[in-house]
Chain A
Amino acid sequence: MTPDSHAFPTRPYDLVKEFVIALGVMAVLTLILAAVFSSPDDKAITLQSWAKATPNDVVATATAELAGTSTSAGYGAPYNHGSPGQNIGPLSLQRWAGVRIPIDSAKDLVTDPLRSLSGDPTVAAALTTWDAATPEKQQAWAGSYSDALTAAPDGNPAAVAAGDYGPVPALANGELSLALNGGLEGLLAAQSTFYANDSTKPLVLLADGSYLESQARAQSLGGNQWGMMNETGNYPGQPWLWGYTFWYQVKPFSTSGNADALIWGLMAVLSLVLILLPWIPGLRRLPRYLGVHRLIWRRSYTTSPPRRPPSSQ
């Protein structure tokens, strides 16, 4: 039985002064660190900068959107029904949450923005041809063009072998033009509204490409690089996420298609264990066996030796 803390002898202690000192220490340390080290601010990748840096990637991404083979097209909930999503055993939490942020990759990310290019006859004609085709024909064109781009040296559209690609090359090239002109973000984020506060669609398109990831991996921010803990440059990142990112590095999670769901489930359980520690037999006695408390309370134990440990805490 833990004795009542109010029964122990006391000595004067100024809590307010302690807090004020602590506040001063934290404030001064903050100011010093901020002045000496500043903070990282790597500029956001605009769709224009993406298009300028790797135009072939933009064309390939637009083609994949049209073919339904991009990451977002086959993602599943909450964007679409492209896949059943991840599951933890019989629990399909991803699918059960439903499609609440609907994204039609081909329409929302490519053809709808292209419809704003009313002054481009090539794109307009390509859209007419695309709209008139059946879904199977559309997928055949886009799939063929995607394969051809993959086979072309450096994915260069100009080096693609001849084939039946329908309007897809014109549409993909139109997407590239939109991006190069700097208008694609606005069209994606504010398709039916003035205030573009939601960056979901531009980010989904950017993430479907390979440029964003290549830039991240160059700074050790990749998932299998313990990237979750890291920050750009030499800045400290989020070391408190070590427990979460650790699981992504080891089997079976590192090779599982359900890694995200499984690790989230695992971390939820571990967090619950940590929160409910006071009531978990065995674990709650761990501090006694570890003995670090003898260092903390060594002065107290010297003047008042501890009693014999009871059989249960």
Chain B
Amino acid sequence: MASTAIGYCSDVVRFQGLLQALVARPYWMVSVIAAAYYFHWGVVRISLGNVLVIASMLVIFVLALVLPFPTHGNVVDAEEPIAPAAIAVGRSWTVRVRTRLSRVVPPGQALPDRQPVYVASWIYVFGVLSLAGFVVVVATGFVLAIEGATWWHTSSTGHFVNSTHLWSVELFFAVMVMHLWGKFFMAAWRGGRGITWVTGMVAFFGSIGTAFTGYLTQSNFDSQWISTQAKDGLNASGVGAFFNVLNGSQMLMWHITLLPLIVGIVVVMHVIMIRRHGVVPPIDAESPVAAVAFEDAAVEEAATVAPVPFEDAAVEEAATVGVAP
């Protein structure tokens, strides 16, 4: 007991001395890190850094328990619908984001169960095949990553998984390029679909980059040759100084994290754009609203209500809830 008390007092003295040193020396932060000061309390041995972290957490937690939480706005019973005026739309970021998100795709068009009648060609399947191919590429890469980058060199199972990843990439590129051909011949950028086209092209070029880094991370003769050749083009353009294709670990990180994430985000944007605008009508097609015969009631109803461009409808809806477009 006495020895413990003496040890504790010694720790206090040493700590006081450390505090003086911290105040006196200009590079006190470096001193704290370099000193590695430890407290000894019986069987407990804990560093100053850890004590500070734990103490800070306890203080913050207690403050969170006792400090009053600010609230504002009208309290509304659960059964009552919330009137638009009750929503602090001018200040609520949540309402702004929700309204913005609800305007991205027309109601019912995020996952519609109907398609325009002109969607009647096998050319249209290459888009969904590209999406499915992307999923298979990511899934096979996921399995390949489980055992590490060199697993496939020493395991027949690993080699098979690598083969699935390679062939899924070949299939993915095949269907994606055919999808690109189809969309080009359809001039699918018409009708405000320019961003759809752009996101598709960016996804294409991003996929090329992802595949390229994949070849670099094979850790075999292919990687050696491709990297030592590709470096010249990249270095000549200045990119190679930052993107070192000879650095296998950098290329692996780009291949399994950065590029798939970027490509994935762009693909999601691409699909959202498609759902937003719908499938592009045929070149020189007439709007069926203007040319309809009136014997069909459904068509008559459509003819009496001129189709409002989606963006205008969103603006109108936003105005009714007081949200600026």
Contact = CB atoms under 8 A, between A and B. Distances in A.
B40 interface: no
A132 interface: no
Contact of A98 (B236, B241, B282): B241
B34 interface: no
B236 A85 contact: yes
B12 interface: no
Contacts of B117: 8-11, 300
Interface stretch (A140-148, A153-161, A164-172, A202-210): A202-210
Given A198-B248, A307-B286, A260 B225 contact: no
Contact of B194 (A45, A260, A278, A293): A278
Contacts of A97: 235, 238-242
A10 B132 contact: no
Contacts of A41: 152-153, 159, 162, 218, 220
B75 interface: no
Contacts of A6: 106, 109, 278, 307, 310
B160 A44 contact: no
Report which residue of A4, A100, A300 has the largest number of chain B beta carbons within 10 angstroms of its beta carbon.
Answer: A4
Interface string B207-232: 01001000100111111110111001
Contact of A33 (B167, B182, B227, B250): B167
B223 A287 contact: no
B283 A39 contact: no
Contacts of A216: 225
Interface stretch (A22-30, A61-69, A121-129): A22-30
A207 B223 CA distance: 12
A42 B220 contact: yes
Interface stretch (A105-113, A176-184, A263-271): A263-271
B116 interface: yes
Nearest to A240: B173
A228 B225 CA distance: 10
Interface residues of A, number: 103
Main secondary structure of the interface of A (DSSP, over half): helix
Contacts of B153: 41
Interface stretch (B58-66, B81-89, B120-128, B315-323): B120-128
Interface in A14-43: 14-16, 18-19, 22-23, 25-27, 29-31, 33-35, 37-43
Interface in B125-171: 125, 128-129, 131-133, 135-136, 140, 152-153, 159-160, 162-164, 166-168, 170-171
B114 A12 contact: yes
Contact of B288 (A9, A199, A265, A290): A9
Contact of A94 (B182, B211, B237, B242): B237
A26 B106 contact: no
A25 B194 CA distance: 30
A260 B220 CA distance: 25
The interface centre, meaning the residue of A206, A238, A288 with most chain B CB atoms within 10 A of its CB, is: A238
B160 A35 contact: yes
Contacts of B115: 10-11, 13, 15
B285 interface: yes
A22 B128 contact: yes
Given A19-B128, A232-B221, A264-B233, A9 B116 contact: yes
Given A4-B309, A37-B167, A260 B232 contact: yes
Contacts of A215: 221, 225
Interface in A268-308: 268, 271, 274-279, 284-285, 287-288, 290, 292-293, 296-297, 299-301, 304, 306-308
Contact of A288 (B118, B247, B281, B283): B283
B185 interface: yes
A163 B116 CA distance: 84
Q: Which of A40, A75, A276 has the most CB of B within 10 A?
A: A40
Which of A30, A200, A277, A290 gathers most chain B CB within 10 Å? A30
A89 interface: no
B284 interface: yes
A306 B286 contact: yes
B99 interface: no
A244 B225 CA distance: 17
Contacts of B286: 3, 304, 306-307
A77 B232 CA distance: 11
A145 B244 CA distance: 33
B18 interface: no
Contact of A306 (B187, B194, B234, B285): B285
A74 interface: no
B55 interface: no
Contacts of A301: 282
Contacts of A300: 117-118, 120, 282, 285
A179 to B, nearest CB: 15
Nearest to A20: B132
Contact of B191 (A2, A19, A38): A2
Interface string B266-289: 000000000001111111111111
Closest 7 CB pairs of A and B: A5-B278, A2-B191, A3-B287, A306-B284, A278-B189, A93-B238, A34-B163
Given A13-B115, A199-B247, A304-B291, 16 more contacts: A6-B106, A11-B115, A15-B111, A19-B128, A23-B135, A43-B221, A85-B236, A94-B236, A99-B241, A198-B249, A199-B246, A203-B246, A261-B237, A293-B186, A296-B182, A299-B121
10 contacts: A7-B302, A22-B132, A29-B171, A42-B222, A77-B235, A232-B221, A258-B236, A285-B187, A293-B187, A304-B285
